[in-house]
Structures are given as structure tokens and as C-alpha cells.
Amino acid sequence: MYIYLFFLNFIFFFLLLILLNNFFINKFYYPFKILDLINFVINIIIFGIINFFYFGSNFMIISIIINFNFFYISFHVQNMVNTSPRTKIILNIFTKNKKVYTEKNIVENRLNRLQSNQQIFINKKIIHINKKKKTLNFIYLVFKLIKKF
Amino acid sequence: MFYLQILIVFFLLFFFNKTYFLHQKKIIFFDYLKKFILYTFFIIGVLYMYFEYYYKDILSNKNYIIISSLIIIYFLTFFSIFLTISLKSINSPTFDILNVIKNNKISKRRLIMKIRKKKILSKRIKDLVNQNIVKNNGKLKLTPEGIIVAKFFFMIKKIFKIPVDG
């Protein structure tokens, strides 16, 4: 029974994610997509409650951990396809894309993303970090933690 | 006891990572996966023998649900770590950019020049060759493993309609 419920959770999580991504315009709550967050919350509510009633409160916690992993994995894989230079290189070779891809593209893409999410702004050609937004500091800290871990 | 069991699962994964990076700084994905599978078999074997000998009733049907949920958490958390771990050996370009702009007032042109010096692309191509995903014989070509990886990313791109910006 528990294994079936896990597979149901897995299928429901990714099907709903595909549906949401295909039928609604996605906005960012940097660095996450809002629809991904909504999907995560819906799954926690549905499967948290089912686990609670069938197996008890401990399994509600397990359900949250499992759905958090689903959320992180889906976020990371999508992010890799969208932003990772290694994925870009692999897909460029695979699709025989001859467009030149340089460090300049890498920097410009990132600056555009950070600007459109209001994490930075450019004033008189100088790049400034938007101090009202704390997300960049948090991301910087996460990168440093990964290095230590 | 329940929370302790979950903590043990996380500790086992943490221990594996620490041990893997004890003798090497860079990660080779296929090698990392292979060693993880061996490590998992070893852990399962040790735990099975321990419980079989001391607490035979623990392996009964009653605990089947708890054990299977812990195994699921173990593999999912490993996969989450697996996706993140490459940042340990290669800096994310965003991290490099943040490192430069965090404490300096810098123009876009100078930032590009600074990042260019870090040779982000050539480091990554070298890494892909080391991972046996790409062959570099003057011209870049995917290996059979690389084609599988590329097909996976291409499928994700199509399903979620994600632009590949890089």
C-alpha cells in the first residue's frame, strides 16, 4: 500500500508539474518558479493528509521530505537545462547548433536573468546588487556551503 | 526513534560524500554512481545481518512500511545530492559573477573580461571529456553515454518547454 502511494505521489507530482508548465505562464520568485512552488504545496497538502490518515503523523513528515526531494530534483533538472553551460554544450552538439557560445553569452544571460528578477540593477553602466532583495546573499551562502559540504 | 532513523539515513549519505572526496577533489559522475551502489549494497548487507542476528522481529511485516519509506528517502536524497555535488568541483558561473560584483563596483564590459579569464567554457569542455560524455578530436562529439545524457536533457527541454540559454 505504502509503495503504491509513493508511486502515485511521484506520478501526480510530475504530471501536475507538466500540466502547470504547459498551460500557465510561469513567473519567478527568484530562484524558483512560482508554479513549481504551487505544485510542491499542493502535493504536500494532498499526500501529507493521505499519509497522516493512513499511516500516522510520522509518515506526514516523511511525505514532506519526499515531496521536498521531488521539488528540489525537478527544480534542479529544469535549472540545469535552462542555465548550465555544460548542458548547453551537450545540447548544442546534439542538435548540431552552430551558434557561437562564449563566456560573454554566459555573463550576459546571467545578468539579464538577475536584472529581470530585480536582484541587480545597472546604473551608468555599473552593476549594483539590489540590497532590498536578500536572495542573492542567500544563494551566495548556499554555494559556499556546498563547497564545504 | 523515528527522527533518529531519518537522521541516520542523512548521516549515511553525508558519510559517503565525505569518504568519496577524501582522496579526490573532482567528481566523475559514473564513478560516483558506481561507488554509491557498492556502498549501498554494503550498508544493506551489514544492517540486514545485524538485524537478522539481534532483532529478528524488526524485519517483520510490521516494520516493512518504515523500512521502505527510509529506503525511498535514502535514494531520493542521494539523487538531490548527486545533482548538486558537481558545484563542489566546478564553480557555478553565477557564483563567479557574484564573487566579482559583491565587493566591486564594476561595469558589464570589465565583468565579462574578468570572467573570460576564468576560462569557464574550456574548463567545462575538459570536464565533459573527463566524464566521458564528449570526445574532443579537434571537433566536439558526443560519446554513446553522452548521447543518452543529451537525449534526457532534450526530453526535459521539450516536456517543460524550457529555453536552453546556458
- Per-domain residue ranges of chain A: 2-83, 86-148
Mean pLDDT of chain B: 90
Lowest mean pLDDT among B57-66, B135-144, B154-163: B57-66
Domain ranges of chain B: 2-89, 93-160
Q: Any CB–CB contact under 8 A between B146 and chain A?
A: yes
Rounded Cα distance, A45 and A100, in Å: 46
A-chain residue closest to B16, CA distance: A149
A-chain residue closest to B21, CA distance: A149
Pairs from B43-48 (Cβ < 8 Å, separation ≥ 24)? B43/B12
Note the pLDDT tens digit of each residue in A25-77: 778 888 888 999 999 999 999 999 999 999 999 999 999 999 999 999 999 99
Mean local confidence (pLDDT), A118-132 = 89
pLDDT value of position A28:
82
Q: Tell whether the torsion through CA atoms of A85, A133, A70 and B15 is positive or negative.
A: positive
Q: Residues A34, A28: contact at Cβ < 8 Å?
A: yes
Quick check: B93 pLDDT over 90?
yes
Q: Any CB–CB contact under 8 A between A134 and chain B?
A: no
Q: Measured between alpha carbons, how far apart are the two ends of chain B, in Å? A: 45
C-alpha grid cell for residue A28? 519567478
Note the pLDDT tens digit of each residue in B47-90: 888 887 777 776 666 678 888 999 999 999 999 999 999 888 88
Lowest mean pLDDT among A107-111, A138-142, B36-40: A138-142
Rounded Cα distance, A48 and A41, in Å: 10
pLDDT value of position A39:
95
Note the pLDDT tens digit of each residue in A69-113: 999 999 999 999 999 999 999 999 999 988 899 999 999 999 999
Rounded Cα distance, A20 and A22, in Å: 6
Q: Report percent pLDDT > 90 for chain B.
A: 66
Using left for φ > 0, alpha for ψ between -120 and 50, and beta otherwise, residue B113 falls in alpha
Q: Any CB–CB contact under 8 A between A141 and chain B?
A: no
Rounded Cα distance, A29 and A111, in Å: 16
Identity of the residue numbered B125? I
Rounded Cα distance, B75 and B67, in Å: 13
| Strand spans (E) along B33-156 | 106-107, 134-136, 140-142
